[in-house]
Every structure is written in structure tokens, then in C-alpha cells.
Amino acid sequence: MASKLFSLVTFSSFLIIFHFLSSPSLADVPLDTPLPPETICKSTPHPSYCISVLPHKNANVYDFGRFSVQHALSQSNKLFDSIEKHLQLGSVLPQPAIQALEDCKLLALLNIDFLSSCLETVNKTSGVLASLDADDVQTLLSAILTNQQTCSDGLESLPSAAGSVINDLSASISNNSQLCSVSLALFTKGWVPKDKNGVPKQPKTHLRFGKGRLNLKMSSQARAIYDAAINHRRRRLLQVGDEEVLVKGIVVVSPDGSGNFTTINAAIAAAPNNSVASGGYFLIYVTAGVYQEYVSIASNKKYLLMIGDGINQTIITGNNSVGDGSTTFNSATLAVTGLGFVAVNITVRNTAGPSKGQAVAVRNGADLSVFYSCSFEGYQDTLYTHSLRQFYRECDIYGTVDFIFGNAAVVFQNCNLYPRQPNQGQSNAITAQGRTDPNQNTGTSIQNCTIKPTPDLASSNFTVKTYLGRPWKEYSRTVYMQTFMASLIDPAGWLAWSGDFALSTLYYAEYNNTGPGSNTTKRVTWPGYHVINSTVAANFTVTNFLMGDNWLPETGVPYTGGLI
């Protein structure tokens, strides 16, 4: 009996070993080895959907990856056509549905452009890319998923009267999201180098000149215009630094009519379309004043440099809010999607107030964008770091609920975060990061910043609880490093969104923070929360997380590449 039992166990073990050997995983074989889709799809977040869309034949990661990106582009074009058809019925749709569809249309157009760019790259090569090239495509594929999610969130928030729109588009958006997730997973497996965020680089510091100072390299004509504008106000806006920032043209915006334009949007319209980095920036100098306008910088307005006269001097203000019928996405006072945008010395406000719900001051979906010495003022959802790669340096951010939110790859450095008094019964959450997929290269990194209450919150003796963040989406990722935290931070540090949602899939971390609110002994004990060391923290620095050494120097904005 024992002998038979041993034989059965041995035979069973043999079958298990044989099955394992006959079903190789992607980790076991070279990436160019043809495999069935059932094996390839195991490395994606949606294996069943992946199997249903990939061709039923053996192919390698690169062939399947190219197929999925091509298919995603085709499906995105179809989705755009469906959105257009619904908008043509605008007269019979409620206004909130029209707004949500307009948001989806803009996002679908961006996705078509992004997927076209991704397809061009993956069609050129079968093999691991250089880190910067891989990061470019991974960033675009991550943003495509974010755009899909933003559209879906907007439709889900619609009233029941718009049920037909939701029903017609939701399935298509869901399928597109799964397909783009498969594309991102296959790209990450085949094209992204494994050590992309592995070995931390040495800390690097660039351009340590004073606050708000850029050295602008201009033509003699542009310099004359600029100097005249500065001298007219008898103040020196910018002083000379060590790095030159190439400027190819300039216009002046002034509310008193002394410049080229009286509105910022008119100046943006006059900027050239589809500029390239090597050509230099188009400078829009916005003089002191209050600009009551909703400013939009479209995706074709690339490499704009917008400089104001200083925080609380040049002010852009609006009051759109969800409470007054806007979508969150479209409530922004300043909305940016143009590649390479840089803003300096400007305040942007949303004055809707704490009772109006989501009310965005700035929505940023511009890749390689920078805000330097700027201020963002609002309450709920002040700063929407929507997507792509972003950097904020020496900025002030004011708000209450989720006042820094979105799904960009973003670093805040040397900034001031000011929680303020919310509505009665509300708690403050500084961040609500929206990562939805484990392969997205997104997250919020807050380094060498200061968290202090505004006077109205401080005077309340902190009866309002303030937290470092809460998980808006399943793979929410936020890291605080080398940051001063005043006593307003609740000892638990972090706030759950709803029950145990995302508590095991999120990634929240703290490294070497200071101040009475930084004590981690009573922090949450979620599986996704970590106190990290310098080796791990280095992955969330400007150099490693944003690959900032490759693009920030040309902006002229100071930054520290590594840990402080």
C-alpha cells in the first residue's frame, strides 16, 4: 500500500513538473520566442480579455504587442466616431451629458495621437529600448489609460436621464481600457529595460540661482520688446542665471492695453502651432493684473513659456465647479495639454468655495511641463495633475479635499502645501492619486516640501483631520520624502477611500520626513504602506522618476535630481 501511494505521489509530481515545463511563462524564455496567447496573456492584468483579442496563433511578445497597439488605435477611432454621433444629438441630451461627451471627445482625440506615436515606435524595433525612449512610450500608454478612465468617470457621474449615453459608450470604453492595459503590459514586458528604475543615480543639482530667475536668450527685437515691458513697470522681473533659455518670440499681455493683447487666450492664439524643443520657447509675458478668464493651452500649442509678475501679482481666476454644473475635468481655470509648457510667477485661482464640490484651479495634462514659483488656490480638487510627466518647484498649493489629485508622473520639490478649512464634516486629504494599472509609470512624489495649515485651519485647533492622502484608484501611488510636516497631520497619516478598497494594491511610502506630523509609529498598517530607505526613495527622485536630467535643463528651472 505504501509502495502504491509512493508511486501515485511520484506520478502526480511528474505530471505537475511536465505541465510546468510544457507551459513556459514569459519569465522562462527569451522574449522573441513564439508562444501561445494563453501564455503571453498571463503577464497582463486582464488575461481572459487578452486571450479573446490576440490572434489564436503562436507569436512573440513583440508581435502580440504591435497587434494590440494597432487594434487599440482602431478601437479608439471607433470610439471617437461614437462620441461624435452622440454629440450630434445634443439638442435631446441634458447639458451635463453634453459636457461629459465633450470631455470624452477631447480625450479620445489625444488617445488617437498618442497611440499613433506608440505604434510608430513599436513598429521600428523588436527589442529593449533605451531608457528614455521606453519611458516616452510607457508614459503615453499610461496617459491613454488615464484618459479612458477620466471619460468613464465623467459618464458615470451623469444623472439617470443620460442613461442611453452611458449604456451605449460604457462597454466600448471598458473594452478599450482593457485593450490598452494589455498593450501597456506587453510593451513593459518587451520593450522597457528591466533596470530602468533599478540603480539609483548620484544626486544631481542643476541651476541653483535665485527664485524666479531665468536667463532668456532672445533675438534683439524680442529683447527690446521684453525690456520695454519690464522698464515700463520700473521693476526687474527676471535676473540673469547660469543657463540660457532659448526664446524665439514674445508677446506681452496687459489689461491696460499697453501690451500686444489684453487677454491671455488671445496671446495663446497668436503663438505658433506645433513648435519643437530645438526651436526655443514662445514667451507670453503676462503683466500684473487680475485676469478673469478660463485659459486653455491646447495640444498644438507646444513649448510655451508663460511668465507673470509674481505670485499674487499676475492672477488668473475663475469659479467653475461641479456644484454649478461643470464636470470636474472642465472646471479648471487654467487647462494645459501643450507639450513642454512652462509657467513662472503666476497665481491661478478657483474661487467657487468649499460648498461647491470639485472646483479645479489648474488641470495639467501636458507632458514635460513645469510650474515654477506659482500659486494654486482652491478648495476641493485644486490641482489636477491629470497625466504625463510634470514638475513643480517652489510653488504654493492651497486646498481641502483631495487638493492634489490625478495620475501624472509628477514631482513636487521645495513647495508649500497649505491645507485650509473645509466644509463642516469634511476631512482634508492632501493627495488622491489615481493610478489604475500596475504597469503605469505614474505617481505623486513630494520631496523637500513643507506642509503647514492656513490661518483659518490653524485657528480651529485642528478639529478637522488632515491626512497625507487617500487612494482614489486601485493602484494609487504617493511618496513623501524629506518633507516637513506640521502637527496638523493625523497620526494615522493616511485615509481609506471606502472600506478596504485598494489597501493592498496601493503604494504609499514615507522617507526621512521631519516635523511633529512626520512620526510614523502610529501610521496605518495597510499592506501597501511602507517606510522606505534611501535606495528605494531614490527611485522617486527627479532623475529617476521623471528622467528629468534629459529635459529639465532646457527649461532653465532649478531642480535637484537626487535626494537632498
Q: What is the CATH number of the domain that holds 166?
A: 1.20.140.40
Whether residue 465 lies inside any domain: the answer is no
Q: What is the pLDDT of residue 223?
A: 65
Task: State residue 210 phi and psi, 5-degree precision.
Answer: -75, 175
Residue type, position 174, single letter: S
Whether residue 94 lies inside any domain: the answer is yes
The domain containing residue 150 runs over which residues? 37-191
144-159: per-residue pLDDT in tens? 999 999 999 999 888 7
Q: What is the pLDDT of residue 13?
A: 39
Q: What is the pLDDT of residue 213?
A: 52
186-213: per-residue pLDDT in tens? 999 999 998 754 333 443 444 333 344 5
Q: What is the pLDDT of residue 160?
A: 73
Whether residue 491 lies inside any domain: the answer is no
Q: Which helix (H) or strand (E) holds 398?
A: strand 396-399
Q: What is the pLDDT of residue 3?
A: 42
Whether residue 432 lies inside any domain: the answer is no
- Cα gap 135→194, rounded to integer Å: 12
Task: State residue 391 phi and psi, 5-degree precision.
Answer: -140, 135
Tell me whether residue 88 is exposed, middle or buried, using C-beta atoms within 10 angstroms of its C-beta: 0 to 12, 13 to 18, 19 or more.
exposed
- Cα gap 229→211, rounded to integer Å: 20
Whether residue 60 lies inside any domain: the answer is yes
- Is 402 assigned a catalytic role? yes
Print pLDDT tens along the chain (564 aa). Answer: 444 333 333 333 333 333 333 444 456 678 999 999 999 999 999 999 999 999 999 999 999 999 999 999 999 999 999 999 999 976 678 888 999 999 999 999 999 999 999 999 999 999 999 999 999 999 999 999 999 999 999 998 887 766 777 788 999 999 999 999 999 999 999 999 987 543 334 434 443 333 445 666 666 666 666 666 655 543 333 433 456 788 999 999 999 999 999 999 999 999 999 999 999 999 999 999 999 999 999 999 999 999 999 999 999 999 999 999 999 999 999 999 999 999 999 999 999 999 999 999 999 999 999 999 999 999 999 999 999 999 999 999 999 999 999 999 999 999 999 999 999 999 999 999 999 999 999 999 999 999 999 999 998 877 899 999 999 999 999 999 999 999 999 999 999 999 999 999 999 999 999 999 999 999 999 999 999 999 999 999 999 999 999 999 999 999 999 999
The residue assigned the cell 527569451 is 30
Q: What is the pLDDT of residue 92?
A: 78
Specify the DSSP class assigned to residue 108: H
Q: How many CA atoms lie within 13 A of 2 on its CB side?
A: 0
Give 505-549 as a DSSP string: T-EEEEES-BSGGG--TT----TTEEE--HHHHGGGSHHHHS-GG
Q: What is the pLDDT of residue 28?
A: 63
Task: Exactly one of 63, 136, 367, 402 is catalytic; name it.
Answer: 402
Whether residue 145 lies inside any domain: the answer is yes
CB-based contact 169:104 (threshold 8 Å): yes
Sign of CA dihedral 213, 209, 390, 121: positive
Helix ranges restricted to H, 23-162: 37-40, 47-53, 61-87, 95-122, 131-156
Whether residue 205 lies inside any domain: the answer is no
Q: What is the tally of structural domains in the chain?
A: 1
Whether residue 55 lies inside any domain: the answer is yes
pTM of the model: 0.91
Neighbour count for residue 37 (Cβ, 10 Å): 20
